[in-house]
């Protein structure tokens, strides 16, 4: 068994150096790994993501893992779900509620994992601000784009990871995302000649750079850099032997050091300087990206199999629907949605894409602006059914003046102070909108509290109502 000892202040650079040293000594052979944590070692968020991603890749290749060392650090790692994702026995610890202080390590393998990771980010952000309506989209966009790259571009057999840590006294939120895939240089080499990893990261940080325009538009890294620059925060991007650094919104350039497979991104947000997405090139109404993408879609339409990582659940359809609604005003004529290459298609996917598009655009505009092609007879019947169900619910769609009564029973979970979790997917709660009010009762005619809904987010089996903190009215008041 080979021992990897971690000591000192363990940020991204330090962890990569110690991993590289270990790899050299073990001649990069698959072996059992004993991870030994030195006393008073401190693992930073980026270091945790890099370490977890690398160990997941080793485990995928058959390595047996064990963990020894400082009990306090090991306890912290256990609370971060380090043991859980790596299949290590957990120490005896007290698991206190996270309370919006950190985001445990989340493995990312598919679209549903991305959805859950972004939800976790949104939750921690919402708990820190009185009004986040214009602030949250920048977080969501950046995390969505970077996490999405893990399973669209990394080519890794093992999951990527996402984790986060809030530092309230410093007013700082760190989000780290890492995979052990083919790296930026190998990914972009399909389209570009890149001599080294520094050049590869430089290229990735430019607008519109992607290995395959059918897989994405190539604005994830550039958009994230724009957000962090405006925020005055910290951004690290590492791949191969190169590490790019931005500090306080100012570029500090590159460092060339130890070569480790995969790609990582650390975003350290200054919570005192919120960023509105509309202030970045991504959110500009006259964005060149939107004009270019609208022209491309007008000419070629959207191939569903190429645009979505899969078509078996709601998250990929939700992202595509948002994109279509953004581009539609710029598109001349109709948008063609081509399902010809889709083999597996769920009703949830069809409802999230076609059913909700019909409901948001209205049946008349939908029929004029959306052309659906390539569906088999069975899939066409499924599509007609979900659209028909949406049309049947048209009369119940709420207005901004509506309020909702929720009874605190088995269908509802008050898991955190400013959240209401409802059992059921979007089709059950589609009429509840951002800006509505909700009254929560105990089932005996008594009101527990009332609040304004800041944001509604829906997964496959659960809908979450995030409440605006400043509007919560307790019955005791």
* CB atoms inside a 10 Å sphere around CB 269: 28
Average pLDDT for residues 459-472, to the nearest whole number? 81
Judged by average pLDDT, the poorest of 239-243, 255-259, 280-284 is 280-284
8 Å CB contact between 147 and 108? yes
The sign one gets for the Cα dihedral 212, 215, 221, 223 is: positive
Decide if 269 contacts 143 (C-beta within 8 A).
no
User: Can you read off the two tokens belonging to residue 276?
Assistant: 């509105």
* Dihedral sign from CA coordinates of 197, 203, 206, 211: negative
Per-residue model confidence (pLDDT) at position 334: 92
Looking at 26-163, list the stretches that DSSP marks H as alpha helix, in order from N- to C-terminal side: 45-60, 71-79, 82-86, 111-126, 136-153
The answer to which of 3-7, 235-239, 329-333 has the lowest mean pLDDT is 329-333
Q: Which has more confidence, 133 or 339? A: 339
Is residue 55 within 8 Å of 88, Cβ to Cβ? no
**pLDDT of residue 129 exceeding 70:** no
* Structure token digits, residue 155: 């080519």
- The reported pLDDT for the residue numbered 132 is 57
Say how far apart CA 467 and CA 379 lie, in whole Å. Answer: 37
How confident is the model over 121-145, as a mean pLDDT? 69
393 has pLDDT over 70: no
Lowest mean pLDDT among 7-21, 125-139, 268-282: 125-139
SS3 string, 146-202, reads HHHHHHHHCCCCCCEEEEEEEEHHHCEEEEEEEECCCHHHHHHCCCCCCCCHHHHHH
Summarised one tens digit per residue, pLDDT across range 63-107 is: 899 999 999 999 999 999 999 999 999 888 766 544 457 889 999
For residues 58 and 1, the answer to whether their CB atoms sit within 8 Å is: no
Q: Residue 348, SS3?
A: helix
Using 50, 70 and 90 to split pLDDT, how confident is the model at 287? Answer: very low
Provide the percentage of residues in the chain whose pLDDT is more than 90: 33
Helices 111-126 and 136-153 pack at an angle, to 10 degrees, of: 160
* Mean pLDDT along residues 376-405: 69
Locate 223 and state its tokens. Answer: 């958009």
Of 125-139, 165-179, 243-257, the poorest mean pLDDT is in: 125-139
The rounded distance, in Å, linking the Cα atoms of 154 and 139 is: 22
Predicted pLDDT at 476 = 57
Task: Report the distance separating Cα 54 and Cα 105, nearest Å.
Answer: 13
* 55 in Cβ contact with 49 (< 8 Å): no
- Mean pLDDT confidence for 217-246: 89
Contact criterion met (CB below 8 Å) for 242 and 198: yes
Is 352:426 a contact under the CB 8 Å cutoff? yes
The proportion of the chain whose per-residue pLDDT surpasses 70, expressed as a percent, equals: 83
Could you give the domains of the chain?
2-279 (3.30.565.10), 288-396 (no CATH), 403-474 (2.40.240)
Greatest C-alpha distance within the chain: 70
- How far apart (Å, rounded) are the C-alpha atoms in residues 128 and 121? 11
């Amino acid at each position: 068994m080979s021992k990897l000892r971690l000591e000192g202040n363990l940020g991204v650079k330090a962890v990569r150096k110690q991993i590289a040293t270990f790899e050299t000594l073990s001649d990069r052979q698959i072996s059992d790994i004993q991870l030994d944590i030195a006393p008073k070692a401190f693992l930073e968020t980026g270091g945790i993501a890099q370490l977890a991603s690398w160990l997941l890749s080793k485990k995928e290749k058959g390595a047996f893992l064990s963990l020894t060392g400082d009990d306090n650090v090991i306890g912290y790692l256990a609370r971060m779900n380090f043991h859980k994702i790596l299949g290590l026995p957990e120490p005896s610890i007290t698991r206190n509620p996270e309370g919006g202080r950190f985001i445990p390590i989340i493995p990312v393998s598919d679209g549903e994992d991305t959805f859950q990771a972004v939800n976790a980010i949104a939750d921690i952000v919402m708990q820190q601000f009185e009004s986040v309506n214009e602030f949250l989209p920048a977080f969501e966009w950046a995390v969505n784009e970077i996490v999405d790259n893990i399973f669209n571009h990394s080519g890794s057999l093992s999951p990527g990871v996402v984790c986060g840590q809030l530092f309230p006294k410093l007013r700082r939120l760190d989000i780290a995302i890492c995979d052990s895939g083919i790296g930026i240089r190998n990914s972009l080499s399909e389209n570009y000649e890149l001599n080294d990893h520094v050049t590869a990261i430089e290229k990735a940080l430019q607008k519109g750079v992607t290995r395959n325009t059918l897989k994405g538009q190539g604005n994830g890294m550039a958009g994230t850099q724009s957000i962090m620059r405006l925020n005055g925060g910290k951004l690290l991007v590492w791949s191969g032997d190169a590490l790019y650094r931005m500090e306080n919104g100012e570029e500090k350039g590159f460092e060339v050091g130890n070569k480790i497979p995969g790609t990582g991104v650390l975003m350290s947000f200054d919570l005192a300087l919120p960023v509105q997405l509309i202030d970045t090139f991504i959110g500009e109404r006259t964005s060149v990206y939107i004009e270019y993408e609208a022209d491309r879609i007008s000419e070629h339409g959207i191939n569903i199999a190429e645009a979505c990582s899969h078509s078996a659940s709601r998250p990929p359809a939700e992202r595509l629907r948002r994109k279509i609604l953004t581009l539609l005003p710029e598109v001349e004529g109709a948008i063609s949605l081509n399902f010809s290459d889709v083999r597996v298609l769920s009703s949830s996917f069809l409802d999230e894409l076609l059913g909700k598009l019909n409901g948001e655009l209205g049946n008349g505009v939908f029929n004029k602006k959306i052309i659906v092609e390539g569906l088999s007879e069975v899939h066409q019947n499924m599509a007609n059914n979900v659209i028909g169900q949406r049309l049947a619910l048209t009369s119940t769609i709420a207005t901004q003046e509506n309020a909702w009564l929720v009874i605190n029973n088995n269908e509802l979970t008050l898991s955190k102070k400013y959240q209401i979790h409802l059992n059921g997917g979007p089709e059950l709660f589609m009429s509840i909108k951002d800006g509505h009010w909700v009254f929560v009762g105990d089932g005996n005619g008594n009101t527990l509290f009332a609040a304004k809904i800041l944001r509604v987010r829906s997964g496959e089996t659960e809908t979450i109502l995030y409440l605006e903190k400043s509007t919560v009215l307790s019955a005791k008041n």
